[in-house]
Each structure stands twice: as C-alpha cells, then as structure tokens.
Amino acid sequence: MLEQSTADPLDRVFAALSDPARRGMVERLSAGPASATQLAADHTMTLSAVVQHLKVLEASGLVTSHKTGRVRTFTVEPEALGPAQRWIEDRKRAWHRDLDRLEDLLRQQAP
Amino acid sequence: MLEQSTADPLDRVFAALSDPARRGMVERLSAGPASATQLAADHTMTLSAVVQHLKVLEASGLVTSHKTGRVRTFTVEPEALGPAQRWIEDRKRAWHRDLDRLEDLLRQQAP
DNA sequence: GGATTGCTCAAGCATTCGCTTTAGTATCTG
DNA sequence: CAGATACTAAAGCGAATGCTTGAGCAATCC
C-alpha cells in the first residue's frame, strides 16, 4: 500500500504553489521539460534544496519525472491545476449568485 | 509604517487556500458575510483558532472585516482571487504554446 | 580505470504553523 | 448593576517546513 497521506489534493496543490521558488520552477517547466541541475541553475540554493522542492511539486501532481541514465527530467502536468482553478471559479460564481439574490431583495423592498 | 512583510501577495493567497479549514470559511463566506462565532460553529476547534485562521485570510486579502458593537463581521473579497486565477491560466497558456511549437517541429521533421 | 557529473539519502537545525489554554476588555441583556 | 456574550491578546507546545552539510552511488567522460 502506497502511503498517500490523507490530505485533500487541493491542500497539496495550493501549498505547493505558495512558495515562490516552486512557482518559479513550474513557470520554467511550462516552457518545456528540464533536469534537476538545470532547474537549480536559476536559484541560489543548493541542488539538494531544489530537489526537495521538486519532490513537493511531484507529490502535488503538478510535475512528473522520469530518470534516463543519471539525469532525472521533470515535466509540468497542467491537468493538476484543474481542481484549483475550478475551486476558485466556483467561489466567484457563488459570490455573484449571492450578490444577485441581494439585488433582487433590494428591488422588491424598494421598487 | 505598516509592517507589511515582503512576501509576494500570491504567496499569501495560495498559502491561505492550502488549509481546508480556511477554504471552508471562504466557501461559507461566499454565501454571505458572517461573524467569527458563526464561522466557528462549523468547526470543532476553538474560537481562538478560528480567529487566527481568519487573520491569515484577512492578511491575504481574501476577506475583510469590520466591527460593529462587539461583533466582527467578515466578508469575502473575490477580487483577491484574481492574481491566483491569472497565474494558473498563464501556466496553462504557456504550456499549450510550448506543445504547439513542438508539434510544428515534429511536422517539419517528418512531413 | 579514475575523475567528474547528476542525483539520492539522512541528519540536523532554525523558523513557522496550527492549535490550546488562560486571561483579559468591551458590549449587550435582564 | 450583574451576568453573559463576542471577541482580543499572549504564551506555550508539538509538528511540519525550508533549508544546509556531508556522505554515497551509478552513469558518463577522458
């Protein structure tokens, strides 16, 4: 059994995106796949730290990776953004629905 | 001078959304404003804890609040979701752009 | 075969997070 | 005025985060 932790995938996606370094890596990867060392070149921190960030991204599903020889190549997985995007859109929709209902009430109250 | 911390607003919005309790509060507030105690009723944790979550949400700009008498009322601020939504959409766009470019290359290579 | 490269693993450490408990301070209610 | 109510502020604590350093190991280069 793969210990997949009980957390909502949304938790992991939003948490992954809350770090500027990780967002940077996703941005970089949206322009095409890259290796860990290539990704590390953009940052001042250790390769070790970069790899740890990449693990967080992979755990969230935002990127996948496969190893060929000694280099591990990372690819962005835009599908994983879907739930987050949908959650945000749902909030906006719900809010507008509420606004409209309020307007109706006001219109009835003071016609 | 208001000590506003140097973090990117995106950091704070995504971080705020990474907690299910806080997302729950935003969902609740999308249906209309509510007080701290009303919001606390939905959760098993202390009012104190709920208030701390609400502070995080307010610091991110996702909600605002104003106090009348002894009750503080919270309102959702859907505008604050804009940057996050845009960031996500930009990623998807960038990725598709890259895909298209790749297809072009393949088409040229093997016509 | 020996050095270099690209990553992996584990330990350690300071900081931040998510909570609780405790102790207030206004505000409203009877 | 005596509660009860609605929050506020602060201290404390265990767990999670974001790093670093150091040590290793397989793939590649000369």
What pLDDT is stored for residue B97 in this prediction?
75
pLDDT-derived band at A101, boundaries 50, 70, 90: low
Of A43, A61, A45, A49, nearest to A7 by C-alpha is: A61
Give percent of chain B with pLDDT exceeding 70: 84
pLDDT at A2 over 90: no
Strand C atom within 7 Å of A70 CB: yes
As given in the structure block, the two tokens for residue A53 are: 């960030």
Prediction pTM value: 0.90
Note the pLDDT tens digit of each residue in B26-46: 999 999 999 999 999 999 999
Q: Which two tokens stand for residue A17?
A: 């995106």
pLDDT at A7: 79
Domains contained in chain B, CATH given: 9-109 (1.10.10.10)
Comparing alpha-carbon positions, the chain A residue that sits nearest to B76 is A95
Q: What pLDDT, on a 0 to 100 scale, did the predictor assign at position B2?
A: 39
Of A12, A15, A88, the CB nearest to B81: A88
Closest-CA distance of chain B to residue A23, Å: 9
Q: Which nucleotide is nearest to A44 (CA to C1')?
A: D19
Instruction: Categorize the per-residue pLDDT at B6 as very low, low, confident or very high, splitting at 50, 70 and 90.
Output: low
Chain D: nucleotides below 7 Å from protein CB are 5-10, 17-22, 26-28
Express each pLDDT in B86-99 by its tens digit: 999 999 988 877 76
Distance of CA B63 to the CA centre of its chain: 9
How many beta-carbon pairs under 8 angstroms link A with B? 77
CA separation for the pair A74, B105 (Å, rounded): 21
Of B73, B61, B77, B25, the C-alpha closest to A92 is B77
CA closest to A75 among chain B residues? B95
> Which tens digit of pLDDT belongs to each residue from A49-63?
999 999 999 999 999
